[in-house]
Amino acid sequence: MPLTGIEGAITGVVERVTPSVVTISTIEMRRARTWRGDGVFPAQGMGSGVVVGSPGHIVTNYHVVRNARSAEVVLHDGRRLKAEFLGGDPGYDLAVLRVEADDLVPLPLADSDTLKVGQLAIAIGSPFGHVLNGPTVTVGVVSALRRRLATERGLVDDLVQTDAPINPGNSGGPLLNTKGEVIGINTAIIPYAQGIGFAVPANVVRDAVDQLLRYGRIIRPWVGVAGVTAATPLARRLGAPDDPGVVVVEVEPGSPAEAAGVRPGDLLVRADGRDVRAVEDLQAAVRGHRPGDTMRATVRRPEGERQLSIRVAERRPEGE
């Protein structure tokens, strides 16, 4: 008897998307100590990926391929293809690979800004490829949005949280809705978490992939402001008012914000004409710009409001 309802929707999605979910096998050189002494030895890594955009382009987690000397993609039908690394970014934990195959079917990326807490989420990975005769699947709900987490690679913003468990071998696979659209790329970045998973949202993936393919890197807009959401216990301890906004805690020397006249203690209440009620609103406003753009900000001070024009710059990785 055919499955119906939620079961039918889930199994239908799995059947449709399985050909687009791949295994990524890597070889990297690791230093290890043996009875003969210290040495460098090849080690195999494993993760998942998903075909998106143009045929042949595969998205995975950066940490899956970051130290790889070589990478191989295993398709659902057992084919093994050499993968070319096109670009990656540790901050977003995203990387793009390319394989020579014209028959791959890319999955559509959803508009992750429309996600709702409580909606169904399906996590799919392919940690061992066709060896296990299919992918691994876990199901849950979107349990939170716009999560910020500290990892060994620094802060990761704007993550989708789900109670669909994401194991390390499933890193890089898709998180899907019941339409079979990718709502995020799974990332196993908290090894001690239980019954919880995180994914890079689809809209971030879409923009990141476009930039990685176009520039070979992700261009991060930067204004040089650190702040906290007002009307919170931490903000009150800093003497901030209870009005909605972001309390500026620090302005980086030499930053666009400093040049525009932003000062510690300012209450930033609007950006580009839109209300800023939390730090996430300010981050979204900055991300909406490209280096060279002008972001118009409204700050509130004891003497009144002031309009400032901040010329957005690019945040370059350390060491460049």
Name the active-site residue from 20, 25, 112, 171: 171
The H or E element that residue 147 is part of is strand 136-151
Pick the closest to residue 268 from 295, 296, 245 (CA basis): 245
Q: Is the dihedral of CA 204, 209, 210, 214 positive or negative?
A: positive
- Categorise residue 299: left if φ over 0, alpha if ψ from -120 to 50, beta otherwise: beta
Q: Tell me whether residue 48 is one of the annotated catalytic residues.
A: no
Name the active-site residue from 25, 48, 57, 63: 63
* Under 8 Å between Cβ of 175 and 121: yes
Q: Tell me whether residue 93 is one of the annotated catalytic residues.
A: yes
The H or E element that residue 92 is part of is none
Any residues with CB less than 8 A from the CB of 214 and at least 6 apart, and which? none
Neighbours of 208 (CB within 10 A): 24
Q: Compute the half-sphere exposure of residue 87: CA atoms within 13 Å on the CB side of its CA.
A: 16
Name the active-site residue from 57, 76, 89, 93: 93
Any residues with CB less than 8 A from the CB of 226 and at least 6 apart, and which? 248, 249, 250, 251, 252
Any residues with CB less than 8 A from the CB of 275 and at least 6 apart, and which? 244, 269, 281
Q: Tell me whether residue 63 is one of the annotated catalytic residues.
A: yes
Q: What are phi and psi of 246, to 5 degrees?
A: -120, 125
Residue 134 CA to residue 141 CA, distance in Å, equals 23
* Under 8 Å between Cβ of 272 and 291: no
Residue 239 CA to residue 121 CA, distance in Å, equals 41
Alpha-helical regions (H) of 24-160: 62-65
Q: Active-site positions?
A: 63, 93, 171
